[in-house]
Amino acid sequence: MEWMRAVQRLREQRVPGVLVTLTSVRGHSPREAGAKMVVSADRTWATVGGGNLEAVAIERARAMLAEGLAVPETLKVSLSDKAPYQHGVQCCGGEVELLLEPLPVVPSVAIFGMGHVGLELARILARHDLELHLVDSRAAQLSPAQLQGLDDAVAGVHVHQVPVLPELVIGELPEGTHVLVMTHDHAEDAALCDAALRASHLASIGLIGSSAKWSRFKAKLADEGHAPETIARITTPIGLPDLGGKAPATIAVSVAARLLQLFSGDPDTSEQHTKVNP
């Protein structure tokens, strides 16, 4: 169906839209209940009936997009010749109700390193509506057997197998991706941090590790030409500061909870963390 392809296209291109559904019809209408249309800021797909009915729906959908609304709305439109019209007369003689559902751009997260913590974190995040990118230079960590716990994922899961130079994936990630660096190799972590700092399209950069590791990394990143304010884009340690414990599942819960705060626009996202990662 055209509207289904449009929804998928908008999601893949990370463009917001509105799904318009004709939910009920009383009397006569150009389309039957269940007809759908997708609206973006500059395009539409499919139709709910054309004429004034469709123009009103498009106008309201684009107003919702402009206002950044996330809550669905209902809209009643009369098709009587006695009703006021904004976009031409449409006198089928009925009345319809439309449901306008925002299709927001979902969060995007990239986990570099599918070790114990990375796998636990992927399992948690896979239960949420987001785009989840899994990256590891070790093929076995991304095998179907290893990732079988994600078979029923709600998230869109994208597996990146990169035996060399996993930092090249940074440039391929969608705009606004939250990057988490937690590989098995500190040299790989350092290369990823360097690449992430050189990218301007990422939403956040998190690095797992201790204060000693971060001290070494800060010095190395400074030697590679990064200014202190640029290095400060990296958050480390990661996770909620008041949730202790070093078990992989505990750290994963802590990191996932912090990400959910970021997704919701928590005003305290700039807070310095004190949690110590292994």
Residue 83, pLDDT above cutoff 50: no
**pLDDT at 273 exceeding the cut of 60:** no
DSSP 86-124: SSS----S-EEEEEEEEEPPPPEEEEE--SHHHHHHHHH
What's the confidence (pLDDT) of residue 85?
54
pLDDT, tens digit, for every residue of 2-60?
999 999 999 988 999 999 999 999 887 888 999 999 999 999 999 998 888 889 999 99
From residue 209, alpha-carbon distances to 130, 261, 267 in Å are: 25, 21, 24
Q: Tens digit of pLDDT for each residue in 170-206?
A: 999 999 999 999 999 999 999 999 999 999 999 999 9
Q: Is the peptide bond before 228 cis (omega within 30 degrees of 0)?
A: no
pTM for the predicted model, two decimal places: 0.83
Q: Which residues of 245-273 are buried (b: 16+ CB within 10 A; e: fewer)?
A: eeebeebbbbbbebbeebeeeeeeeeeeb
Q: Mean of the pLDDT values across residues 218-231?
A: 96
Distance (Å, rounded) from C-alpha 72 to C-alpha 221? Answer: 46
For the chain, the structural domain boundaries read: 11-103, 108-264
| 80, pLDDT greater than 90 | no
Query: What pLDDT was estimated at residue 81?
Result: 56
| Per-chain mean pLDDT for the chain | 89
Task: Indicate the pLDDT class of residue 278, thresholds 50, 70 and 90.
Answer: low
CB-based contact 96:26 (threshold 8 Å): yes
**Mean pLDDT of the region 251-278:** 70
How much is the average pLDDT of 233-248? 89
pLDDT in tens, 117-136: 999 999 999 999 999 999 99
Q: Please give the CATH architecture assigned to the domain spanning 108-264.
A: 3-Layer(aba) Sandwich (3.40)
| DSSP three-state, residue 177 | strand
